[in-house]
A and B are shown apart, each in its own frame.
Chain A
């Protein structure tokens, strides 16, 4: 009886720890979609089709599996680096704005969302 209680307690702690880990808390799809919408990301990007910019899927496949994938995408979204458009021209990528400003957690969530896009 004592042993089963211990197992139950350990299992509870494990479940709680898993739920509270950054990976489990990281992705809020609705919040990411909303941030993308507020920033007009879809003006140049689509989920699985290229527009003026690459699809989210293409970006996901480029970075997926890399240790610093989220950080790389966050850097892309916050630095305004030069990007090449579909017509060959170049311009600075829009810096993603958040409310409140510079909320890295929101931008990381968007990066996680982009990384989560899978082929159909």
Chain B
């Protein structure tokens, strides 16, 4: 049996070798600091992808939905509260946020293949893309809307009668926001009929 010089061993063997130089405390402290740096860096990077600037850094979003969003109440309103893309499209809790981010990496593939790189291509796919998002919101019980809006906070005195009546009916029926509210911050896809707006004569 021959003794192999540790310096000549593979990197994995070297990593597994107990430290002869450093105390357990020093190793634990080093690991702790490295953990903080890694965790902080990871979350800072993930939060950077939640900013409005990041979302509209690609022309696919900047030239289409972003233009429409700027005319909606979620962008500009009496009270000065703004909901940006991630407020509606990215979950707040860490686990679901991470899952959403991993799924969103598919959009990078879309970018590389140019699936919506012109306005015409985007309009052709708008209904499909919108339906995917509506399904996601429905599956999450419109939690991103409900981070700010709630049936219980709706005032019968301050809300118009018809919407209030419909909201209370929706609450009783166990519906969530996205069941009725689509095209809130963007245009509805051409030809799409929202529930309750169908007209068989059209």
A→B interface (CB under 8 Å): 33-34, 37-38, 40-44, 46-49, 52, 85, 89, 91-92, 97, 99-101, 120
- Shortest 5 CB-CB distances between A and B: which pairs? A42-B197, A47-B201, A99-B71, A46-B199, A91-B160
Evaluate whether A47 and B199 lie within 8 angstroms (CB atoms) in the complex, with A37-B188, A91-B161 already known: yes
A85 B71 Cβ-Cβ under 8 A: no
Q: How far is the CA of A43 from the CA of B193 in the complex (A)?
A: 10
* Chain B residue contacts of A48, Cβ below 8 A: 201
Q: How far is the CA of A41 from the CA of B162 in the complex (A)?
A: 14
Contact of B201 among A46, A89, A100 (CB under 8 A): A46
* Chain B residue contacts of A33, Cβ below 8 A: 202
Say if the beta carbon of B17 comes within 8 Å of chain A: no
Number of A-B contacts (CB under 8 A): 46
Q: How many whole Å from B66's CB to the nearest CB in chain A? A: 12
B71 A37 Cβ-Cβ under 8 A: no
* 14 CB-based A-B contacts, threshold 8 Å: A37-B188, A37-B194, A38-B183, A38-B188, A42-B194, A42-B198, A42-B199, A43-B194, A44-B162, A46-B199, A49-B199, A97-B71, A101-B71, A120-B201
Q: How large is the interface on B (under 10, 10 to 19, 20 to 34, 35 or more residues)?
A: 10 to 19
Evaluate whether A34 and B197 lie within 8 angstroms (CB atoms) in the complex, with A91-B162, A99-B71 already known: no
B183 A89 Cβ-Cβ under 8 A: no
Q: How far is the CA of A85 from the CA of B160 in the complex (A)?
A: 12
Smallest CB-CB separation from B164: which chain A residue?
Answer: A91
* Chain B residue contacts of A52, Cβ below 8 A: 162
Say if the beta carbon of B190 comes within 8 Å of chain A: yes
Contact of B162 among A34, A37, A85, A101 (CB under 8 A): A85
Q: How many whole Å from B173's CB to the nearest CB in chain A? A: 17
Q: How far is the CA of A85 from the CA of B190 in the complex (A)?
A: 29
Q: How many whole Å from B67's CB to the nearest CB in chain A? A: 8
B161 A40 Cβ-Cβ under 8 A: no
